[in-house]
Amino acid sequence: MKVSDRTYFLLKRLHSLTGVVPIGLFLLEHFFTNSRALQGAAAFDQAAVELARIPYVALVEAFGIWLPIAFHMVLGVIIATTWQSNLGKHGYARNWQYVMQRISGIVLVFYILFHTWMTRFDSGYLHSPSAYGYVKDQVSNPGVFLFYVIGILAACWHLGNGLFGFSIHWGLATGRNAQRVAARLSFGVFVVLALVGLNALLAFSGHGIYPGWLTKPHASESSSVVFQGGQR
């Protein structure tokens, strides 16, 4: 498909913007909430219940999360199928960034569908007395655990590298040196987020690394909160 340069430029700006706001912010919130598992079952279940009690939570999710994600995915497909997305016009490193961004996007389509099904429609989750217990049982399966690892890494790379594209498309990094700095910062974001996300995942198997001075541990590792189909 061929579009005008002006339309293509507008699509790229909208695509990068939706990837950062609100999708990127949602990923940060998601990792923050999941990291509550590092404090134990009770802390994570309480966080899930608090999210479920947000006023108009269905509307917030629909228009603040799912609609932007769908919009971002459709734009990504349109951009990827335009003539302007030719890899040959980029340098070697940028080619790899481009390829990895597209691969991570495809992985995330399947990951998001799987994760949404497991935490919204699966009867085991909806009737589980503990969100923490349900996730712990799921990730005890090596195949599911590996899929979550791949999904987390894909999400972190897609956001980190997406920030690099955002800085270019919105004129924040126009020169070569500025783009080099932006690329390094974006890779740093990927590394930090990946460590946070994987650490939260490991917490469900009791192996998360979390310095005690960062938070006050909960008195009990068992959940005292009755969980009924919360958000996570």
pLDDT in tens, 65-85: 999 999 998 888 877 776 555
What does the block give as tokens for 190? 């990927």
Segment 187-201 shows an average pLDDT of 96
**Residue percentage of the chain with pLDDT more than 70:** 84
Which domains, ranges and CATH numbers included, belong to the chain? 5-210 (1.20.1300.10)
196/186 Cα distance (integer angstroms): 15
- pLDDT at 43 (0 to 100): 93
Mean of pLDDT over the chain: 85
DSSP 218: P
Q: Is the dihedral of CA 163, 167, 173, 179 positive or negative?
A: positive
Segment 89-98 shows an average pLDDT of 72
200/147 Cα distance (integer angstroms): 15
Q: Where are the beta strands (DSSP E) in 68-200?
A: none
Is the distance from CB of 108 to CB of 27 less than 8 angstroms? no
Asked whether residue 182 carries a pLDDT value surpassing 80, the answer given is yes
- The pLDDT confidence band at residue 232, using thresholds 50, 70 and 90, is very low
What is the value of pTM for the model shown? Answer: 0.85
Dihedral pair phi/psi, residue 217, rounded to 5°: -65, 150
Task: Classify residue 124 as exposed, middle or buried by CB count within 10 Å of its CB (0-12, 13-18, 19+).
Answer: exposed
- pLDDT at 34 (0 to 100): 94
Q: What is the pLDDT of residues 201-216, one digit of tens each?
A: 999 987 777 655 445 5
Asked whether residue 132 carries a pLDDT value surpassing 60, the answer given is yes
**Residue percentage of the chain with pLDDT more than 90:** 59
Is the distance from CB of 95 to CB of 86 less than 8 angstroms? no
171: left (phi over 0), alpha (psi -120 to 50) or beta: left
Shortest CA distance to 211 belongs to which of 220, 223, 219, 199?
199
Q: Is the peptide bond before 22 cis (omega within 30 degrees of 0)?
A: yes
36/38 Cα distance (integer angstroms): 5
